[in-house]
Amino acid sequence: MVGNRAMAENVMLNNVDHKNLRIITRRAQEYGDNVAGCVVFPTEFLEVHKEYPIYFQKDAETGQFQSIALFGFTHGENLLLDNSASGWVGRYIPALMGREPFLIGFNRSAEEVQPSKVLLDTSSPRITYGEEGEPVFLPGGGNTPFLEQIKKNLMLIHEGFPASAEMFRVFLDLDLIEPLTLDIHFDNGEHYTASNYYTINQDRLYSLGDDLIARLHKSGYLQLAYLVLFSLGNVKNLIDKRNSAHRASK
Amino acid sequence: MIQKIVIVGGGSAGWLTAGIIAARFQSSERYIQISLVESPEVSTIGVGEGTWPTMRTTLKKIGLSETDFLSCCDASFKQGSKFIGWRSESSEDVYYHPFTLPNQKVTWRFLSAWKRYFPHLSFAEAASFQSKLCDLGVAPKLITMAEYGGAANYAYHLDAGKFVELLKRHCTENLGVNYIRDHVVRIATKDNGDIAAIVTKDNGEIAADLFIDCSGSSAILLAGHYQIPFTSIRQYSFNDRALAMQIPYADDNVPIASATLSTAKSAGWIWDIGLTSRRGTGYVYSEAHSDREAAEREIRNYAAQSIGVAAAESLPVKQLTFEPGHRAEFWHRNVVAVGMAAGFIEPLEASALALVELSANFIRDELPASDDAMTVVAKRFNKLFAYRWQRIVEFLKLHYVLSGRTDTDYWRDVKADSAVPDGLKEMLELWQYRPPYYNDFPHTEEIFPEASYQYILYGMNFQPKFPYVEIAEDASEVLLIKEALSKAKTYRENLPNNRDLLAAMRRHGMSKI
């Protein structure tokens, strides 16, 4: 769900060429933030679940499960964008969006693929060399706290893919995933249904034996299952936002 | 109390039967012990590579993942059969028998609407979206769909040898089936005539309460021991030879057909089953109307159309001989035959594996608790399967009787009055005045539903005597034909092609939900 601009050109980030580089962190449609959701990883569920509903969904190319934080209901609808300074009503931005416009560089010559360097997507509209935005490097060439945060996000994403695959393997093995149909009637009479989402099967979770529960708890997956369940109530916020947006536009 | 079951024979029939029964009783209060005895001296036939959609339920119940099944057996999706050259000799002459049922009841009004407003469409196109998907090599599902679920009804093409290996592994490792590799040398009987045990070369006596004869056409228990006679159906079903040939794909981009291709030839027809790894083809023909040399020429010419003459000439062919027919009784005393031991007919509608599933399901569901109950169950089994064989014979014959071909003796003889079963003649008479409908097929578990008869009958251009009726342009029959067409369009725009989906599934797997 994260927009990938065509013709992206990635260069290795360095404090010589990019000494004065600044990044516009404001969220807005012009930066490609008009997305109805974003892939999130188990390692950020603790933050994500407080603000957005987390649904499971299958990747259209691979059929593999992934977790999605929902921001809107129709293609391109992001109900969290606003006119504030940050451009975003939530407190937490998922790592996949928060890392923009940086990527992990891989050292391809090495036997094992390890993240080594940070790449900069030079086609990003967030890039500026003016007064606006967050500086990437300190005047002396060191990393700014902003860049450190970016690197944390990149690591989270890098580790997030295998962690996510493992989480789904565990959930599927225990038949803990079930399809979920979203069926919403908005105040303006619009009816929205979506049946491509999945979530944790609560009945199944409650019926697991003590041994399994203990194992799930120790491995951290029980907490993840509950975070997903707790997050579901957040869809109410999105519905409210959409209803008030419609009222305002009348 | 029936507790011990011994299956004799380890081909597709033996292992599929073992799996179907073992999976049911694995977590049941009733204790059933299943052993499968396979002779190291007898090799399996290894054809029978097309299934019915029932195989999806069967595999799911047995506890196999569809991902494992597809990748272990080089399997692909089959959405029906495509008949080429059955109405006339032209290779342009094609029609489909898809697995998805018509989207409306096939009534006289429907036939009238189809002929009046959509004369350019085939029957299958007017009644279902699926033939279009087959034509375009479109898969029946998306990778995001759960295992065994689909947007369109589907079955499989599979590598029979690899299928047996997978079933064997699953049965022995996960379902508790006891595997004995030994040769049966003698049968030990009880005083009442039941079989007490099979006596093997190395393992001695293996006793059981019920014996399932999956020993192939030799039927060593039912025919060998009990001398149950064979009912020949040669009068109706001429084909008794097959020349099988595995054809490699020219390259990795050749489309994998999502339907079994059945091409009519001078003395029979050629099956063509697309797997992910290769195509399995075979010319099934009548020995009385051709000879091996001429038949081999025909199948090599067929192969040459797709891979060129040089490659086609170099491929090995394997000849199979069979006698069309079935045992007069399938269940006798404490022996029941499944698979080729029960009977065999040309694989025109891939009924072989389906009959194994149906037989094993029956045995599983009715597994008699005692010897007394066994007599009743056997009687019912015999009656039901005699009916099913009759239905298969008639349905397969339907593919031939309406053909306009007269180019060879074979095509003249197959339509001769004496070669058409009376039951079929009667139905053809009725169908002059109304389409095939459920009253023609009164069983709850008919082997072929009325839709199958409709697809073949109207696919073969059957011309009823009764006049069509006047249908309004906005009649529901017309609208439903339009709906089938628009569904075909939506599906072909949204579903991946067969080869791409199979490749993606091998790479990523599918989820069970």
Q: Does residue A147 lie in a domain region?
A: yes
Cα separation values, B135 from A228, B7, B81, B98, B129, Å: 44, 41, 11, 11, 11
User: Residue B130's pLDDT is what?
Assistant: 97
Q: Does residue A239 lie in a domain region?
A: yes
Task: Give A96's pLDDT tier (boundaries 50, 70, 90).
Answer: very high
Side chain identity at residue B18, one-letter code: A
Q: Which of A55, A56, A62 to mutate to test the interface with B (most CBs of B within 10 A)?
A: A62
Contacts of B509 in chain A (CB under 8 A): 63-64
Q: What is the dihedral of CA A79, A80, A84, A87, to 10 degrees?
A: -110
User: Is it the case that residue B469 has pLDDT exceeding 50?
Assistant: yes
CA distance A63 to chain B (A): 4
Residues of A in CB contact (< 8 Å) with B are: 58-65, 172, 175, 177-179, 196, 198
The domain of A148 spans: 10-245
DSSP state of A125: T
Task: Give B47's pLDDT tier (boundaries 50, 70, 90).
Answer: low
Closest partner residue to B508 (CB to CB) among A62, A179, A196 is A62
- Residues with Cβ within 8 Å of A34's Cβ and at least 6 positions away in sequence, in order, are A76, A77, A78, A81
What is the sign of the dihedral through the CA atoms of B140, A63, B489 and B85?
negative
Cα separation values, B402 from B115, B263, B452, B477, Å: 19, 16, 15, 26
What is the sign of the dihedral through the CA atoms of B170, B172, B176 and B180?
positive
Q: Which phi and psi (to 5°) does residue B50 adopt?
A: -115, 145
CB pairs under 8 A between A and B: 36
pLDDT digits 0-9 by tens, B82-120: 999 999 998 899 999 999 999 999 999 999 999 999 999
Note whether A177 contacts B513, CB cutoff 8 Å: yes
Q: Does residue A41 lie in a domain region?
A: yes
Q: How many domains does chain A have?
A: 1
pLDDT digits 0-9 by tens, A118-165: 999 999 999 999 888 999 999 999 999 999 999 999 999 999 999 999
CA atoms within 13 A on the CB side of B437: 12
Q: Which strands, in side-by-side order, build the sheet including A10-12?
A: A10-12, A115-121, A102-106
> What percent of chain B is predicted at pLDDT more than 90?
91
- Residues with Cβ within 8 Å of B7's Cβ and at least 6 positions away in sequence, in order, are B14, B17, B18, B34, B35, B36, B37, B211, B212, B214
User: Is it the case that residue B45 has pLDDT exceeding 90?
Assistant: no
Task: Give A7's pLDDT tier (boundaries 50, 70, 90).
Answer: low
Q: What is the dihedral of CA B338, B341, B343, B346, to 10 degrees?
A: 100
Measured between alpha carbons, how far is B122 from B120 in angstroms, rounded to an integer? Answer: 7
Task: Give B28's pLDDT tier (boundaries 50, 70, 90).
Answer: confident
Q: Does residue A250 lie in a domain region?
A: no
Q: Does residue A5 lie in a domain region?
A: no
pLDDT digits 0-9 by tens, B162-190: 999 999 999 999 999 999 999 999 999 99
Q: Does residue A43 lie in a domain region?
A: yes
> B80-84 and B260-265: which strand pairing?
parallel
Note whether A58 contacts B509, CB cutoff 8 Å: no
